[in-house]
Each structure stands twice: as structure tokens, then as C-alpha cells.
Amino acid sequence: MNPDYRNAFERIYRGKRVLVTGHTGFKGVWLSLMLQELGAEVFGIALPADTEPNLFSIAPLKIHSNFVDIRNFKEISRSVENANPEIAFHLAAQPLVIRSYKDPIATYETNVMGTVHLFEALKTQKLVRAIVCITTDKVYRQSQGRRHYREDDLLGGKDPYSGSKVCVEYICEQFRHLFMEKNVLLSVARAGNVLGGGDWSANRILPDLIRSFINGRVVKIRHPEAIRPWQHVLDCIHGYLIIGAHLLQNKSDVAKAWNFGPDRDRLITVREVVDRVRNHFDGLKIEISSSAYPENQFLALDSSMARNELHWHPHYTSEEAIEESILWYKNYYQSGRANCFEALEKFWSKSPHYNSMEANS
């Protein structure tokens, strides 16, 4: 490990007032934990966690937490004013594709108007200098054939969730120019199919498999040959932190959209994820079922821009991300404790000797 690598992040984030929307969600908790460990003062805005168990209630978080519905502009404005952030990470969303089909109105209200509410509230803040808005790998217009999507590809979503996130992308584009007039920089991060310990959301492959095994139920698998850009949650968050660090250093060329995904040389199918879980949980019962909703069979990201310009790279391969996630769940169900600090330490121990933060400062 290069100890200076983590220290470079600490020098940037220590003592900073950081707002995280969606801090009770899977990625939001891990981001808040990492910021907490880097010495930031973290303020969270979100609805209460909606699963049981949930990572928010078992993780060792020590942050300012405020339960607010992002669809309520007055409450969001009050919470943002109290946080008075220097940088905001916007993760709050209705993030599930199938739920978006069942409740498209709430999906658009949360993802689209929630983003507008947050940006309008941030406009009036004196300290804010940087905003990182998290969208998804599903914002790209589906093309024929197997190709990795690049940041300049056309956007377009066929389901309500994807469509709402495309709207968020255009909102970011409009607000980016407005914020730049106030010397505030705004970036977008696109990633998806994130794996890691502590996700208990419905209709996500790894939580569904683990939950079905624990409860002794059959899990129904859709599209076993579908390919997704599986990556570890900490690799994804590492990308968000790099963006934020550059924005705080007033690097305007970073104020654009970025892809974060696994290396291109290994494409993992849903079936392979299932097989790896079966290696750890003997007796897992699987049933192949049809889907009532259309889903892309191939989805992959080209993250070369982040690798070349931000010097970001995944610490874990897709296979390692799956294994690390499975081991986290096994430890939790065997010991009853969340292995969060250990996961963070292991992640930093894999940090590169090349110090990307120092090289770009």
C-alpha cells in the first residue's frame, strides 16, 4: 500500500462540510463511512432505510442525519441551509427499475423534481463549491450489438427509472452553467450493478440470492445470460471521491459526465454470479423465470476516460467484487456484525503506488 494515497484524500476532505443525499441507502452509507474515515463532517439527507435489515442501522456511522423527503422543497431547503456544505454528493433516488414500472409517478417525482429541489436549495449556499450528481449506467440509448457505452453516446431510457435519470442528466447540464457563474462546479457520475456487503434491496441479484438462501426459498432468475458491468461498491465510491476532490481543487475540466465500470477484458453473466454464490451457499435453489418487463441483455461501460484523465481504476475485478461481497454477507450472518471498517482497510490496502491525487494537484 502507498500510505500517501489515502493521506492525499484526507488532506482534501478532512474538516470539509459534506452533504450526502440518500445517505441511508446502500451506496450512501458506504460513501458516508468513507468520508467519515477521511475526517469530513458529513450531513445526510434521506428517507429512513426501507429494508430490514439495512446497512444504515448496523454500520458504525457518526454523522449528522436528517430524515427528509427530497420531494418536499421547503424541508430540503431547510436541511441544506443547516448543512451549509462545501461539497454535495447527490445519491437520493428511487433506484429500482421494477419499482419504477409499478410507480412511475413517485420515481419521476423523486429523481427529477428531487434533483431540481436540491440544486435550487444549493444555489443560495455561500460555502458550496462542488456538486457530484450520481445517475446510472442505464442512461444510454440502447444500441444494436455488444458495445461499451462512452460518455458522449446518445442518452435514452426505455423504462421509467432510466428515463427519469436521463432527465436528471439534462437538469445537470442546465444547472452546470448556472452554477459555474457562482464558481460552483458540477459533475455527473454514471455507474451501475454495484455489488458489496449491506445491500438488501429487492430485485437485485446478490441480495435476492442471499436472502433466498437464508429463508430457504427458491429464487427466480431472469435472463441468466445477461451481461452487466459488475463492480465493487468501494471502487464506485472511490471514483466519486476522486471527482469531488478535483472539483474542490477548482479543476473545471472535471465538471462533466464520467463512467465508472469494471475492466473490459472480462464480461460476467448473471449465471456466473449465481454459480459463484452457489459455491458458498450449498443448496441454493434456483428457478429460471421470464420477466414481465423488458431488460437489456448486454450493458457495459467504457471507463477509459476516467482511467486516463482521473487515473481511477478498479481495485477489484468483477470476480473479486462478487467474492468480497459474498464473504461480507457470510460474516454478517455468522457473527451478526457489519464488517465495515475491515472492508475499508482492505480497500485502501489495495491502493496504487501511483498517487493520482498528488499527480493531478
Q: Identify the weakest region by mean pLDDT among 43-57, 106-120, 255-269, 311-325.
A: 255-269
Query: What DSSP state is assigned to residue 137?
Result: G
Q: Can you give the pLDDT at residue 292? A: 65
For residue 87, pLDDT beyond 50: yes
| Residues linked to residue 219 through DSSP beta bridges, in sequence order | 286
The C-alpha cell of 92 is what? 437520493
170-208 pLDDT per residue, tens:
999 999 999 999 999 999 999 988 999 999 998 888 999
Q: What's the mean pLDDT in 128-134?
A: 98
Q: Can you give the pLDDT at residue 1? A: 45
Among 309, 238, 344, 283, residue whose Cα is nearest residue 9? 238
Domains and CATH numbers, the chain: 3-360 (3.40.50.720)
Could you tell me whether strands 64-67 and 87-90 are parallel, antiparallel, or unpaired per DSSP bridges?
unpaired
User: Cβ distance 230 to 321 under 8 Å?
Assistant: yes
Q: Identify the weakest region by mean pLDDT among 48-57, 137-146, 267-276, 334-343.
A: 137-146
224-239 pLDDT per residue, tens:
888 888 999 999 999 9
Q: How many residues does the chain have?
A: 361
Instruction: Give me the helices (H) in the chain, please.
Output: 3-13, 26-37, 55-58, 73-83, 97-102, 104-108, 114-123, 160-180, 205-215, 233-248, 270-280, 304-305, 318-335, 340-349, 356-360
Q: Assign residue 336 a region: left if phi > 0, alpha if psi is -120 to 50, beta otherwise?
A: left
265-317 pLDDT per residue, tens:
778 999 999 999 999 988 888 888 776 666 777 889 999 999 999 999 999 99
| Residues linked to residue 195 through DSSP beta bridges, in sequence order | 232
On whether the pTM is more than 0.85, the answer is: yes
Longest pairwise C-alpha distance within the chain? 59
- The CA-CA-CA angle for residues 13, 17, 23, to 5°, reads 95
C-alpha to C-alpha distance for 261 and 274, rounded to whole angstroms:
20
* Side-chain half-sphere exposure of 49, counting CA atoms within 13 A: 23
